[in-house]
Structure 1
Amino acid sequence: MSTPTATFKTLDDLEPDQRVLVRLDLNSPIEDGEPQDNRRFERHAETVRELADAGHRVVLLAHQGRPGRDDFVSLAGHADILASHVGRDVGFVADTYGDDAIDAIEALESGEVLLLENTRMCDDELPEEDPEVKAETEFVQSLAPHFDAYVNDAYSAAHRSHASLVGFPQVLPAYAGRVMQTEYEANTAIANKEFDGQVTMAVGGTKATDVIDVMNNLGDTVDDFLLGGIAGELFLRAAGHPVGFDLDPEQDLYDTQWVQNHELVEEMLAERGDQITLATDLAYEAEGERAEIDVDEIEEKDVSFLDVGTDTAEGYADVVRDSGAVFVKGALGVFEDERFSVGTVTVLEAIAETDCFSVVGGGDTSRAIEMYGMDEADFDHVSIAGGAYIRALTGQPLAGVEALKEQ
């Protein structure tokens, strides 16, 4: 049976010998027209392998890019990468619900795996519409009769009300795959779980609105918000420091966000100031090297700040070590440049060495774990979701999850 905490059926509830339609999220960076291997393939391979090993006939749906963009390509290359992780062949057909797709689906034997073409090449897929509307599309109505069950494993796309995510659960018995199950349970833990000790959240990244929404939703749960990134600099501006604005008006990283959010930021500092920890020093580039300055010594902003300073990073790490649970949303600096990885990496390393419950996610933050040689096993959960992770932290429903709950 499903775990007691599950709000939907999982693979544990699936009847044997099924023809199963499985939605994955294999959306990947594209270089020279070819998909690049990434953590999503490895994670989803667990679900695909489990289904195939159990003898189900497994048909996969996934998307890549959006129409009109350079990364909007076929999934032919994705099949080869996925096969290398699953450890068995993954067939591919350059069709989604036409005769070629149906013939390939009907020809499947027990334990065989087939990937269909990019769902976003179907006109029915993309418009955000109610699940009942999506269930009536030609896409869903053509494919569904050929299957016994539907599995949604695409948690990272679950905030989208697209046909392949919300339409099929209306017409087929629906289950959560292992990625969906583990992501949902980990990313809702901050709201649903009781922790023994302080709850800390390191929040950064480029979107102040996301940070504000997260802090508003979790203000009664989180004891200490450790701020960095562009959002952290905007909070410093609200606290009276001469930072948090654009040096180049064409860049527009700070000014528009300040206009849109400064009242909320100021209000949050006034109401929750004792829960908010701001950087005491910041890092910037000088003559090609990392340089740092205390926030209190900044008289005017004449350089771009690319990371929290070393003192701030070490102070944040001390907070982490005293915490019972730590959640990470967004990077504290431009960690892709090793010179400005100190804040993000110092906090992540402190989490890894501390016996606390930990979830890392939001955008590309989880990439820092691999980039800087940390072991993913030292974290309770490393999310592969971006937008869905933010929505979970802000308490917003996820269309794909809600569709599974309604079963």
Structure 2
Amino acid sequence: MPPFRTLDDLPAASRVLVRLDLNSPIEDGAPQDNRRFDRHAGTVRELAEGGHRVVCLAHQGRPGRDDFTSLAGHAEILSNHIDRDVGFVADTYGDEAVDAIESLEAGEVLLLENTRMCEDELPEAEPAEKADTEFVRTLAPYFDAYVNDAYSAAHRKHASLVGFPLVLPAYAGRVMETEYEANTAIARTEFDGPVTMVVGGTKATDVIGVMDALEGDVDRFLLGGVAGELFLRAAGHPVGHDLEGMDLFDDQWEKNHELVEDLLAERGEEIHLATDLAYEDADGDRAEQLVDDVVEKTDAYLDVGSGTVEAYDPLIRESEAVFVKGALGVFEDERFSIGTVGVLEAIAETDCFSVVGGGDTSRAIEMYGLSEGEFSHVSIAGGAYIRALTGEPLPAVELLEAAADD
């Protein structure tokens, strides 16, 4: 049983305020369809088909950034996913929004304007302070319930995430429910066999923190990406530093080298490092080099080598559970997709509990013809996934848990 109320507990015929996370890439001023719309559509469709009046809140970008735009285009994409009209008003809690909310009929869906266009939404503050904002105090009286489906934003203390659960009966949507169950499984579940974590990506600081926090929960770590090179550097290899024009390694090394060295010294048997690395040669082709043969780093390493993939494969296939955080290479370039795709294929072919976390890595599943159904869960969360793995609190989830006790 989840530690919060879900849609199964929602009273019939409610007017519901639903927080989604539809934050998307913006190209030529237009939002791009992605799995977030598809996932949240399940919650919205269920509410609409159940006869509720559904009003959605979401954000896009941040003030001052190029992707900070209206949600008008998001409403159209969401409409296509739920196969019914999604109304939109370019207002969040003013008269136009209130009028649209009051005129809503059972089964109808409305999307309000970008929450981050409200001064009360940002910056982060304590829930009680956010609950007392004009934004929350104005909207709340028009609703019977609040549903938070935005697990991927649950680590934020923004008004639309932490204010409404203090003034309305609060419930978890289906995305919130499934993300919570999958992303906390590593700490809550006793697995009968080895638990493996694949660690990669460019944000080494985050994943190194995860490795430190998961002592006792993970039996072995398979490394690639920036974190993998930093561990190789700590092991005495001349890699894991920036070349001219780079800004990936040196700053993260300064912040984390003591922890990296400690992890290698104390848990080295659990940590598996790349034995070869791939780079682009002078002809533009993929080339590979054994780590033991590197005398000086002269090229950017863009993937783990095929020998590393072969070494990681059996470790994955004998695992009872596999968690993925970060890609092992620049998989967007097919030449350097061998590490990431090889690992994902091994997981897909193995009868294990598997969670692939983070938007970047999960994109590789689509790009290379794998099916999400071959994995136990493909997370759409980034920062919240990291927090869940490290055991840090997620404010929006804590408020749902507290609401269940009321």
> Normalization by structure 1: what TM-score?
0.98
Q: CA deviation at 1:360?
A: 0.1
Q: Tell whether 2:19 aligns with 1:23.
A: yes
Q: Which residue of 2 aligns with 1:129?
A: 125
> Which amino acid in 2 is paired with 1:260?
K
Matched AA of 1:266: E
Q: Where does 1:267-286 land on structure 2 (aligned, <5 Å)?
A: 267-286=262-281
The corresponding residue for 1:259 is: 254
One-letter amino acid of the counterpart of residue 293, structure 2? E
1:90 is the counterpart of 2:103: no
Q: Give the superposition deviation at 1:363.
A: 4.2
Identity %: 76
Residue 398 of structure 2, aligned match among 386, 394, 402 = 402
Q: Aligned to 2:378, which of 379, 382, 391?
A: 382
Distance (whole Å) between structure 2 residues aligned to residue 314 and residue 114 of structure 1? 50
Say which SS state the counterpart of residue 328 (structure 1) adopts.
strand
For 1:44-96, what per-residue CA distance to the aligned partner results, in whole angstroms no more than 9, with x for missing partners?
Answer: 00000000000000000000000011110000000000000011110001100
Tell me the distance in 1 between the aligned counterparts of 2:28 and 2:203: 30
Return the offset for 1:399.
1.1
Aligned pair partner of 1:152 in 148, 154, 157: 148
Matching of residue 115 in structure 1 with residue 111 in structure 2: yes
Which residue of 210, 214, 217 corresponds with 1:218?
A: 214
After the TM superposition, which of the residue ranges 345-354 and 253-262 deviates more from structure 2? Answer: 253-262
Mapped to 1, the partners of 2:105 and 2:26 lie a distance apart of: 32
SS in 1 for 2:287: strand
Deviation at 1:362?
2.4
Aligned residue for 1:327, secondary structure, equals: strand
Q: Offset at 1:252?
A: 1.7
Which position in structure 1 is the counterpart of 2:70?
A: 74
- Aligned residue in 1 for 2:317: 321
Alignment partners' CA distance in 2, 1:188 and 1:210: 17
Q: Select between 97-106 and 200-209 the one with higher mean Cα deviation.
A: 200-209
Q: Tell me, in whole angstroms, the C-alpha distance in 2 between the residues paired with 1:394 and 1:362.
A: 15
Give 1:313 shift.
1.0
Aligned-partner residue type, residue 189 of structure 2: K
Q: CA RMSD in A?
A: 0.7
SS in structure 1 of the partner of residue 360 of structure 2: coil
- Alignment-mate amino acid for residue 396 of structure 1: E
Q: Deviations over 1:151-177 (max 9, x none)?
A: 000000111000000000000000000
2:347 maps to 1:345: no
Conserved? CA contact 1:330–1:363, under 8 Å: no
Task: Report the equivalent of 2:328.
Answer: 332
- Cα distance in structure 2, aligned partners of 1:60 and 1:317: 43
Rounded to whole Å, the distance in 2 between the matches of 1:215 and 1:73 is 36
178, 182, 185: which one aligns with 1:186: 182
1:58 is matched with 54
The alpha-carbon deviation at position 315 of structure 1 amounts to 1.3
> What is the alpha-carbon distance in structure 1 between the residues aligned to residue 75 and residue 207 of structure 2?
36
Q: Deviations over 1:98-141 (max 9, x none)?
A: 00000000000000000000000000001110000000000000
Separation of aligned partners in 1, 2:140 and 2:380: 28
CA distance in 2, matches of 1:363, 1:111: 31
The code of the aligned residue for 1:148 comes to D
Q: Distance in 2 between matches of 1:211 and 1:385?
A: 14
Task: Write the distance in 1 (CA, Å) between the matches of 2:359 and 2:139.
Answer: 32
Contact 1:306 1:334 in 2 (8 A): yes
How far 1:224 sits from its partner (Å)?
Answer: 0.7
Contact 1:363–1:387 at 8 Å: present in 2 too?
no
Distance 2:191 2:70 in 1: 45
**Cα shift readout 1:25-59 (whole Å, capped 9, x = no counterpart):** 00000011100000000000000000000000000
Q: What SS does structure 2 have at the residue aligned with 1:200?
A: strand
Q: What letter is aligned with 1:257? A: Q
Out of 180, 186, 198, the position equivalent to 2:194 is: 198
**Partner amino acid for 1:316?**
Y
Q: How does 1:229-308 map to 2 (within 5 A)?
A: 229-248=225-244, 250-286=245-281, 287-308=283-304
1:46 correspondence with 2:42: yes
Distance in 2, matches of 1:347 and 1:50, equals 35
Distance in 2 (alpha carbons) for counterparts of 1:263 and 1:50:
49
Give the stretch that moved more between structures: 252-261 or 145-154: 252-261
TM-score (norm 2): 0.98
- Whether contact under 8 Å (2:278, 2:289) holds in the other structure is yes
Inter-partner Cα distance in structure 2 for 1:69 and 1:21: 27
* 8 Å Cα contact 2:79-2:85 kept in structure 1: yes
CA distance in 1, matches of 2:310, 2:24: 34
Q: Is the 8 A contact 1:283 1:305 kept in 2?
A: yes
Is the contact made by 2:359 and 2:379 (CA closer than 8 Å) also made in structure 1? no
Task: Give, in whole Å, the separation in 2 of the partners of 1:49 and 1:272.
Answer: 47
Gaps of 5+ in 1: none
Q: Distance in 2 between matches of 1:166 and 1:63?
A: 14
Displacement of 1:251 after TM fit? 2.1
* 1: CA distance, partners of 2:326 / 2:377: 15
Separation (CA, whole Å) in 2 of partners of 1:238 and 1:381 = 33
Is 1:23–1:153's contact at 8 Å kept on the other side of the alignment? Answer: yes
User: Is the CA contact (8 Å cut-off) linking 2:7 and 2:171 kept in structure 1?
Assistant: yes
